[in-house]
Structure 1
Amino acid sequence: MHDLASRPDGAEWIVGRMATGEFVALPEVGKQALDLLGQGLSSAEVGERLREATGDDIDVPDFVAALLALGFVAELDGREVPQPAPPKPTFCWIRPRHVRWVLSPVLPVLLGLLIAAALLSRPPVPLSYHTLLWSPHGSAVIALGAGAGWTLLLLHECAHLVAARATGVAGRMRLGTRLQFLVMQTDISGIELAPRRHRLTAYLAGIATNLTVSALAALAAGATHGTPRRVLAALTLLALLPLPFQLMVFMRTDLYFVLQDVTRCRDLYGDGLAYARYAARRLFRRTTGRDPSRELPAHERRSVRAYSVVIVVGTTLCLAFLATVTLPADITLFARATARLGPGHTTAELLDATTVVVTLGGIHLLWARTWWRGRRAGRGKSRR
């Protein structure tokens, strides 16, 4: 077996390989079988040991096949199992010992005091769109917004990565999609093995970073005047703008993982989606199948059914906004720009149209490519 990590979780065990980020939940008998196989026993010997211990016949060869599919087996019958190299962690030079301090229980207290000081600072930063329009020059406003936006996004994801790395989880940052949104996301698979406080720290690290930047900018704005104050006030608001997005838990945002952990659900999104599909088929009398939520423990069943409503309502509203606002606006903007690319237009008009076509087309192509790569990667990935 490869080097595997595990921890008890109620009546089950969470077991996985930190190098690949592949984790599964096993019953007690599965953990026993895994330990016996790790000792070098054959499938037949493991089956006999389990029969003596439990009185049941366990299909160990099928269990071994599942372990092979998960990439947990290094050698089989003395032969090395060919496997792709584990993905390289992002910022692999950051070691757990370098960032262990982020798990200190003192840190949230200090951040709370900082945020409280910003809220009480005088003069306060007005939470108005006028604050964002800090300069009469639109290009300067857009430049600050774009620069601060991408910098804050990177800091947000780095916070997740650093908090996870402190627990020993590798972590990998990459582009992803959430419905019509192109997002940056951090894979911290393996955090399931950490204590709950550390898990919640990793989930909430991004939000805490945005709040910290906003608080520091607000305090600095209160100590300055003129253009620096206006810039810092705008930065205060820019750091807060991404936070309402985190409330959209139907898209597996940071707060979704907090919700999943607090409700003690194994796969809140996957189970909620499966139940929503079952309920839709039942509504239109197109199914005689069994309710998938019936297989879940009672506490998970209630959470999954409630969350399925959130998925349906949230997804419907998001796609409706896409169909009625975003797409018509993008199509109109793109059509106007392409119409100005022909002859008979000034150099300024041609430059403006080219910028719109390249920028808008590039964003949509990047979204499509990212969505397709995520879809292909998800086809063969085992469910955790």
Structure 2
Amino acid sequence: MTGVSAGRAGATGVPVRVRLHELAARPDGEEWIVGRMSTGRFVALPDDGKRCLDLLGQGLSLPEVAARIQEETGEEIDVPDFVEALIELGFVAATDGHDLPSEAVPTPPLARIRGHHVRWMLNPFVPLLIGMLICAAVVVQVSRAPVPLTYRSLLWSSHGSLVIGMSAAAGWTLLLVHECAHLLVARATGVPGRMRLGTRLQFLVVQTDISGIELAPRRHRLTAYLAGIATNLAVAATGVLAASLADPGTTLHRLLSALTLLALLPLPFQLLVFMRTDLYFVLQDLTRCRDLFGDGAAYTRYAARRLVRVAHRALPAPEDPSRELPDHERRAVRTYSVVLVVGTALCLLFLAAVTLPADVTLFARAVSGLGPDHSWTRNLDATAVMAALGGMHLLWLRTWWRRRRTTRRG
């Protein structure tokens, strides 16, 4: 996209007038958040930049915009450079009456569901109702015979295949419902949203891109970020209440107990804010940071280079990237960088000490279980284990590589 736009600008020279795509904007402190909902690309602009954008949108030529800005503020703005940056961002639809190549806008999932269909999800009574549901479940859990929520709850049947099948089906269903909650709340604010596979360190995850939610009011932003967690808690609360009505020891009671636990199990993962979980975005919003993870990673690299320079004083002193940030952002970024380093190190240690040895052992046992010397059931079991382990790791590698390649192009 950037290369095509730059080539177009170089071929036609400096344009005189431009036509902008439909852009949305919201004031944010001393700056403005501006961007295209359809592409999910947004930038922060100062007041002068926002005023320049408004004048371009009114159809004024570039020289007229420069003259108007200088007359109003006394400042000189390089409008051609500003327009070139807008072209690279994909904000400009045409220059001097000539349409510019534009990136294809993908069709969002659940495209038939429009904002007005799910506007009710932004009603303040919705979190109140969910809170009441959770409180009712807590009261039932405390005052009556509690629904068992131990690992034994997952072993609801003596048939292992039924346990694994139900856990997989319910787990993936809950995961999709969790992500759809993010998607639909964002859709209610006018953000199309998109779901795709992603990676968080060694974990394969389903993630929902709701770029553009930055333009919504804070209450709507926090609602979108917390919608998945609220959905899991609502499902768990419903499971507790339903299980309290079933006879203990019955299959229905055991199934509802298992469903309740499956809904609660993903929630501790949300505390790992160093992996940009739902609670990470809440933290980023509350600390008023633009890119807490990106700035934290940049500061971590700076700190590492600084340590290397201590050992090799001949190296040039690195520049602190957080120095340009506002005071409140600088403090948050430096604190988050510690969480980022410690959390990442612990996750990778767990991968090396537990996950990989377990996977390698399972794979080796499966390989040894293949061959004509073993029964057909042993061969079938070994093949299933190898396909499951190999498939998951290959899917992780493919997802990681695609994300890395996309990042490089960006």
Q: Which residue of 1 aligns with 2:380?
A: 351
2-side partners of 1:147 and 1:380: how far apart? 36
CA contact (8 A) 2:305 2:318 kept: no
The one-letter code of the counterpart of 1:260 is Q
1:33 pairs with 2:52: yes
Matches within 5 A, 1:128-139: 128-139=150-161
- Which has the higher mean CA deviation after the structures are superposed, 70-79 or 241-250? 70-79
Question: SS at the partner of 2:118?
Answer: helix
Cα offset, 1:287, TM superposition: 5.0
The structure 1 segments of at least 4 consecutive aligned residues displaced by more than 6 Å after TM superposition are: none
The one-letter code of the counterpart of 1:127 is L
1-side partners of 2:103 and 2:24: how far apart? 20
Higher RCO structure (Cα 8 Å, ≥6 apart): 1
2-side partners of 1:303 and 1:85: how far apart? 37
Question: SS at the partner of 1:169?
Answer: coil
2-side partners of 1:358 and 1:58: how far apart? 60
Q: Which residue of 1 aligns with 2:406?
A: 377
Q: Which residue of 2 aligns with 1:243?
A: 267
TM superposition score normalised by structure 1? 0.97
Question: SS at the partner of 1:136?
Answer: coil
1-side partners of 2:82 and 2:405: how far apart? 26
Q: Which residue of 2 aligns with 1:153?
A: 175
Q: Which residue of 2 aligns with 1:66?
A: 85
Percent sequence identity is 70
- Within the candidate set 229, 240, 246, 1:224 is matched to 246
Q: Which residue of 1 aligns with 2:40?
A: 21
Matches within 5 A, 1:269-308: 269-285=293-309, 287-308=316-337
Q: Number of paired residues?
A: 381
The one-letter code of the counterpart of 2:361 is T
Q: Which residue of 2 aligns with 1:90?
A: 109
CA contact (8 A) 1:103 1:201 kept: yes
| Runs of 5+ unmatched residues, structure 1 | none
- Within the candidate set 162, 180, 198, 1:176 is matched to 198
Cα offset, 1:170, TM superposition: 0.3
CA contact (8 A) 1:278 1:287 kept: no
CA contact (8 A) 1:281 1:287 kept: no
2-side partners of 1:230 and 1:332: how far apart? 32
2-side partners of 1:100 and 1:66: how far apart? 35
Cα offset, 1:325, TM superposition: 1.2
1:258 pairs with 2:277: no
Cα offset, 1:284, TM superposition: 2.0
Cα offset, 1:324, TM superposition: 1.4
Question: SS at the partner of 2:297?
Answer: helix
1-side partners of 2:374 and 2:149: how far apart? 41
Question: SS at the partner of 2:80?
Answer: helix
